[in-house]
Amino acid sequence: MIKLTNTLGGEKQAFIPINADQIGIYVCGVTVYDLCHLGHGRTFVAFDTIVRYLRHSGYNVKFVRNITDIDDKIIYRASQTGEAWQQLVARMTAEMHRDFAALNILPPDVEPKPTEHIPEIISLIERLIARGHAYLTEEQDVMFSTASAKDYGRLSGQNIENLMAGARIAVNQQKQSPLDFVLWKAAKPGEPSWDSPWGAGRPGWHIECSAMNSHHLGTHFDIHGGGADLIFPHHENEIAQSTSAHDGPYVNYWLHTGMVTVDQEKMSKSLNNFLTLRDMLQRYNGEVLRLFYLSGHYRKPLNFTPDNVDSARAALARLYSVCCFASDVESRDHAAWEERFRLAMDDDFNTPRALAVMFDLARVANQKLKEEPDEAAALATTLKHLGQVLGLLYQEPERYLQSNPRWDEAKMQYITAQVQAREDARQNHEWQRADEIRAWLEAQGIELEDQNGRTSWKVK
């Protein structure tokens, strides 16, 4: 049975779906005003892996991951770049999809945007007003009354009295409480807006997720996730407005990913350690970054250093080296390895333990390669099978081992041609030329192996 740690209460719980026919999962997506950063990669690789594993376990999953396509940051960035906000959103969405594809993150089943759900957002706000949980200010903003919400602060463990005591005086003096938050922002001159019963305006950040997930998954669904930075106030506010608008429970399990640090420091532009996925993907194969993300438990902080990612690169090369001799035969011990892997993943999606199983499997396959080559090949097939559950080992092994993200196709073809030129020189007993080419290849970071009359190569 799958067990997961529920942020709501902080305890590990057995996963019991609301409906055995379909699991509903909603994950808060990216606000598309800039390129994605390392933290985005960590969160969305984690939830991609969780969805993959649930499907591997036999569950039918409906996975919804939104895009925030209207926001103060989007409006401000569009004014900086001199483009229409819609153009900025389209451009950054395409860049996000490009980065996620490089990390082998599968598209969600539904990718909603708030600008496509304005009627649902307005309807939800009207319901909150009618139930006495929201109010209209003189400036025609609609605010949520946190005092009216039951158990506000329960998800994050916040003490409301302490929050109130520590809250700064609200900029908007029309708030009934400093903790109240906006559901509908009245339009400002020159900003995008939509018609509503309260005048032209646009939705607040928190309300969009409640409206979209209830529209696509119903008012009560299984799993809601996101980065740990969203626990408060975003997810706390989601719970408040959703449970105030609808009778009954909202989400059964809340899952949150740990933050990514850089050399043990919080990633920040002011510290000059802010790393985009695009920067990293120009230096590393996307699968290397995926393995790096999975090397830590999704709930724990993950520290980025070049050495840590280089370790992931070397580890992935070891796995692919074993995959090179995979066959279509199933290992006699396949079920035992699958069971060890399953026990690791059933324990709160423990990818570090699951990876340890895979590395044990790779070690055994290598040990059997000389004396039991058929069983070694079968074990390698099992390794590929388990890796692909995690979104790993999906590339052709030799091609992966020969890849370098810094090389374009022309450089790759030239390297391949030089390997062949060395092989031709050896066949013609031109040993000096063969040695010269080998020395040049090694200077390019190429590792050659001559075995059984054939030369194979890979990137060091």
Question: How far apart (Å, rounded) are the C-alpha atoms in residues 79 and 234?
Answer: 26
Question: What number of H helices and E strands is found in the chain?
Answer: 16, 15
Closest CA to 158 of 224, 237, 227: 237
Taking CA atoms, 45 is separated from 26, 217, 308, 400, in Å, by 14, 22, 17, 20
Q: Which helix (H) or strand (E) holds 310?
A: helix 306-323
Q: Which two tokens stand for residue 395?
A: 């590339």
**What are the φ and ψ backbone dihedral angles of 226, each rounded to 5 degrees?**
165, -175
Angle ∠(377,379,381) on CA atoms, nearest 5: 75
Q: Which two tokens stand for residue 47?
A: 């939830």
Q: Do residues 177 and 134 lie in contact, with contact meaning Cβ atoms separated by under 8 Å? A: no
Q: Where are the beta strands (DSSP E) in 370-460?
A: 446-451, 454-459
Consult the annotation and say whether 28 binds a ligand.
yes
Give the DSSP letter of residue 234: I
Q: Do residues 146 and 152 lie in contact, with contact meaning Cβ atoms separated by under 8 Å? A: yes
Closest CA to 254 of 276, 275, 283, 234: 234
Q: Residue 242 contacts by C-beta under 8 Å, 6 or more apart in sequence? A: 210, 214, 219, 250
Consult the annotation and say whether 234 binds a ligand.
yes
**What are the φ and ψ backbone dihedral angles of 68, each rounded to 5 degrees?**
-85, 115
Consult the annotation and say whether 269 binds a ligand.
yes
Question: How far apart (Å, rounded) are the C-alpha atoms in residues 373 and 79?
Answer: 63
Consult the annotation and say whether 238 binds a ligand.
yes
Consult the annotation and say whether 323 binds a ligand.
no
The alpha carbon torsion through 255, 260, 264, 265 (nearest 10 deg) reads -110
Question: How far apart (Å, rounded) are the C-alpha atoms in residues 360 and 347?
Answer: 19
Question: How far apart (Å, rounded) are the C-alpha atoms in residues 11 and 221?
Answer: 19
Q: Do residues 150 and 144 lie in contact, with contact meaning Cβ atoms separated by under 8 Å? A: no
Angle ∠(343,347,350) on CA atoms, nearest 5: 95
**What are the φ and ψ backbone dihedral angles of 251, each rounded to 5 degrees?**
-125, 135
Q: Which residues are annotated as a binding site for ATP?
A: 269
Q: Which residues are annotated as a binding site?
A: 28, 209, 234, 238, 269
Q: Which residues are annotated as a binding site for Zn(2+)?
A: 28, 209, 234, 238
